[in-house]
Amino acid sequence: MDALRLLTPEITITIFAFAIISLDIAWNDENKSRRILPWLAFAGGLATLLMIFYIWPHVDQYNYTAATDAGREVPMLAVDRMSLFFKMIAVLTVILVGLSAGEYVEKHTPFRGEFYGLMLLAGLSIMLLVSSTNLIMIYLALEFLSITSYILTGFLRRDARSIEAALKYFLYGALASGVMLYGFSLLYGATGSVDLATIAGSLETTQAGLVVAAVILMLAGFGFKIALVPFHQWSPDAYEGAPTPITAFLSVGPKAAGLAVLIRVMVVALPAFDVNWTPILSLVAIFTMSVGNLVALWQTNMKRMLAYSSIAQAGYMLVGLAAWSAAPPSAVAYLGGVDAIMLFLLAYMFTNLGVFAIAIILENQMGTSEIADYAGLIRRSPYLSVALLIFFLSLVGIPPTSGFIGKLFVFGAAVNQGLYVLALFGVFNSVISVAYYFGVLRNVFFEKGSDESPIRVGVAMNTVVTITVVMTLLIALYGQPFIQLAADSAQILAANF
Amino acid sequence: MPFEIPFVQIVWWAMTACAIGGAIGVVSSNNLFHSALFLVLSLFGVAGYYVLLSAGFLAVVQLMVYIGAIVILVLFAIMFSRRMMKPTEDEMNRQWLVSVIVAAALFSWLIVVVNSVSWPVTSAAPTADTVLQLGLAFLGSYLIPFLVVGVLLSAALIGAIFLAREKVEAEEI
């Protein structure tokens, strides 16, 4: 019973999600649901975040043996510090996206209950996925995340582009899930177990070929969620067609979840295995960075450009995992590189959600998200222009912004393990990315726009932009607590639930 | 020694023929209705595997849910839309050659991998009361996934109703 405390964040967010959906049905009063439901979603996110902080100090008391003593033969979830960190990312994403979605939802759809309810449930699925230590649980949570994402992507159901985006996302996702399941079945067939820790114990070196095949097939499923090249084709179309707040959510939430589960499978199930993963992971990282950045150069639509930019950012994160895999095997679980990924992800979350908040504000006002329409923004809203400058500096990785700290740690981890070529590719790619980020900024600061009317920014939007700007700067200027947090969070348990 | 008919092997080959032949029929038929009927054959072959593996409950579920519910629903959907009944769609598209090459390469690689491994075989006898064991597992070790399935299905149901429900006055883009 006491261990149930560890699941309070999941329970809280589920209760709020279903409360929102039920109240939406119960209230016939249009006005009431319009005013209250967004705030209920916000309260749900905040309550879940509090629960995560509440159990944070207690996670070390529960470990694998405690769970098996309680009579659980098949562990399902691990509530460890790494999963709590990723849960925090997921819930912060839901809160920030929920806050910035208000006006957009108001404008485009009458179905508020479904929108906020499903978004909280998508948050729940990420929280489950980052904790899963069991192939069955991983598949369930991944499918949960997929289904909620498909629905949210196609949420503007009278908009052909939104429906097309959802359909493409769904078709690619179904295929990726199938391929991933085949990888799971190979692992299960070879070891007779679905538990990651048991799989690690029963793999034999004669099965190396099989494990490589299984990991590559599983990478299709996880890589689809993270949008790694070559599993990225769905993402530009889905990002462009989806409602913009959902695009913001897709660019952070599923990426974090996919990375977390990839890290967990690599660290727990295949720790000291006889295969050198570094070439595979490095190659995927290099392709992901390069394709994302090069194709982003040609984009004229902000959402599409950000889709390719976030593909490239995922490539940088994978550099951290490649660095982890390059470390010599040791008795203690080595997690260098993983903390770098988490720091990078924290910085990326605030920065990217900030950029999307600005994109949503401008789309609410102008009705488009073409980069050409950003011309002359400096005269219309100096605050948003400067915020955009800070966010883009952070995405490129120029100090004094959080993106610089993130990249410093990720590339630093690669250099530490002697992966100089990989780090060089990362730096080179950052230089390429200057071109398209600063292309937008040139429009904003130096071009003259046709419309000179000032941009109106609501309270919720203002809050989101301010929070993200402050955090983007704070992680760089006062980085020690955040670096410490990431380092402390690099702790993975086999399972405790 | 009297001549023994290798009954299990015969059934296994028959089921394999059903499953693979049905799957080939699904993708090669250019009539959508025929494809759906071939899908029944393929799913039936898989149900046969479950029987051979002493998983009777799963076999019945496979027949009832997949063939009894899902394929029948697909058939109804096809029959209700007149355009789909006519075999107009070409089953080949511009990318068929690339697909064949990729699929063949993947297939041969997996064949090599699967053949290179000595698969562990359990010596335990299959349990007789599978339904009882299944129920205990759902409410014991697999309680959390069981609950998550409940939430997942609710979310999917809400989403399906939302996407399929009729147009609302206030809805505009």
Let me know: does A4 contact A67? Beta carbons within 8 Å: no
Q: C-alpha A272: how far from its chain's center?
A: 27
Pairs of CB atoms within 8 A across A/B:
93
Residue entry with tokens 């084709």? A233
Task: Quote the CA–CA distance of B4 and B6 in Å, as a whole number.
Answer: 6
pLDDT for the residue A331 = 44
Distance between CA atoms of A441 and A395, rounded to whole angstroms?
A: 13
pLDDT computed for residue A69 by the predictor: 45
Q: What is the rounded CA–CA span in Å between residue A401 and residue A391?
A: 8
Q: Tell me the one-letter amino acid at B86.
A: K
Cβ–Cβ below 8 Å for B159 and A147 = yes
| Both structure tokens of A120 | 């909280």
Give me chain A's average pLDDT, please.
88
Contact call for A189 and B119, based on CB within 8 A: yes
CA distance linking residue B72 with residue B36, whole number of Å = 9
Q: For B109-147, how does the pLDDT look when each residue is reduced to its tens digit (9 = 90+)?
A: 999 988 888 788 877 777 778 888 888 888 888 888 999
Residue B111 Cα, gap to closest chain A Cα (Å)? 10
The residues in A 146-175 lying below 8 A from B, measured between CB atoms, are: 147-148, 150-151, 154, 156-159
Q: Which of A218-232, A260-274, A403-417 has the lowest mean pLDDT?
A: A260-274
Rg (CA), chain A: 22
- Please name the residue of chain B whose CA is at the shortest distance from the CA of residue A159: B173
Which of the given ranges, A23-27, A393-397, B24-28, has the highest pLDDT on average? A393-397
A268 compared with B49, residue with greater pLDDT: B49
ipTM confidence score = 0.89
Surface of A (309-348) touching B: CB under 8 A: none
Nearest to A109 among B151, B155, B171 (CB): B171
Q: Residues in chain B whose beta carbon is closer than 8 A to a beta carbon of chain A?
A: 109-110, 112-114, 116-120, 122, 141-142, 144-145, 148-149, 151-152, 154-156, 158-159, 162-163, 167-168, 170-173
Q: Do A151 and B163 touch (CB under 8 A)?
A: yes
Region A202-214: mean pLDDT is 81
Q: Is the Cβ pair B113, A148 closer than 8 Å? A: no
Nearest CA in chain A to B143: A76
Q: pTM for this structure?
A: 0.92
* Best of A30, A107, A116, A128 to mutate (most B CBs within 10 Å, chain B): A128
What does the DSSP assignment read for A372-419? Answer: GGGTTHHHH-HHHHHHHHHHHHHHHT-SSSHHHHHHHHHHHHHHHTT-
- Phi/psi of residue A252, nearest 5 degrees: -120, -55
Evaluate whether the domain defined by B1-86 bears CATH number 1.20.120.1200. Answer: yes
Alpha-carbon separation of residue A421 from A253, A314, A407, A409, A430 (angstroms): 29, 18, 15, 16, 14
Q: Where are the domains of chain B?
A: 1-86, 131-173
Identity of residue A159: D
Please report, for residues A289, A325, A326, A383, the alpha-carbon distance to residue A282 in angstroms, rounded to integers and kept in the order given: 10, 10, 10, 39
In A, minimum Cα distance to B152 occurs at A144
Nearest CA in chain A to B117: A207
Chain length of chain B: 173
Identify any residues that bridge with A370 across adjacent strands, giving them in sequence order.
A301
pLDDT of residue A494: 61
Q: Is A179 on the interface with B (CB under 8 A)?
A: no
Dihedral, CA of residue B13, residue B18, residue B23 and residue B27, to nearest 10: 120
Res A124: pLDDT: 96
Q: Which residue of A has its CA nearest to B119?
A: A190
pLDDT score for A246:
95
Q: Which of A207, A345, A189, A359 is nearest to A263 (CA)?
A: A345
Task: For residue A372, give the DSSP letter.
Answer: G
Closest alpha carbon within chain B to A166: B163
Chain A residues 446-475 with a CB less than 8 Å from chain B: none
> Given an 8 Å threshold on Cβ–Cβ distance, is B142 in contact with A136?
yes
Instruction: State the nearest Cα–Cα gap between A140 and chain B, in angstroms.
Output: 7
Which stretch, A154-163, A349-358, A481-490, has highest mean pLDDT?
A349-358
Per-residue pLDDT averaged across A241-248, rounded?
Answer: 94
Interface mutation target, options B109, B158, B165, chain A, most CBs of A under 10 Å: B158
> Does pLDDT of A172 surpass 70?
yes
Residue A331: beta bridge partners? none
Flag whether residue A128 sits within 8 Å of chain B, measured between CB atoms: yes
Nearest-Cα distance to chain A for B63, in Å, is: 21
Residues within 8 A of B (CB atoms), A 201-230 only? 206-207, 209-210, 212-213
In this predicted structure, the answer to whether residue A65 has a pLDDT above a threshold of 50 is no
Length of chain A: 497
Q: Are A111 and B122 a contacting pair at CB < 8 A?
A: no
- SS3 for A458? coil
Closest-CA distance of chain B to residue A111, Å = 8
Q: How far is CA A319 from the centre of its chain?
A: 16
- What's at A311, amino acid-wise? I
DSSP B50-119: HHHTT-HHHHHHIIIIIIIIIIHHHHHHHHHSHHHHS--S-S--TTHHHHHHHHHHHHHHHHHHHHHS--
Range name among A195-199, A334-338, A410-414, B6-10 with the lowest pLDDT average = A334-338
Nearest-CA distance B116 → chain A (Å): 8
> Left, alpha or beta for A100 (phi > 0: left; psi -120 to 50: alpha)?
alpha
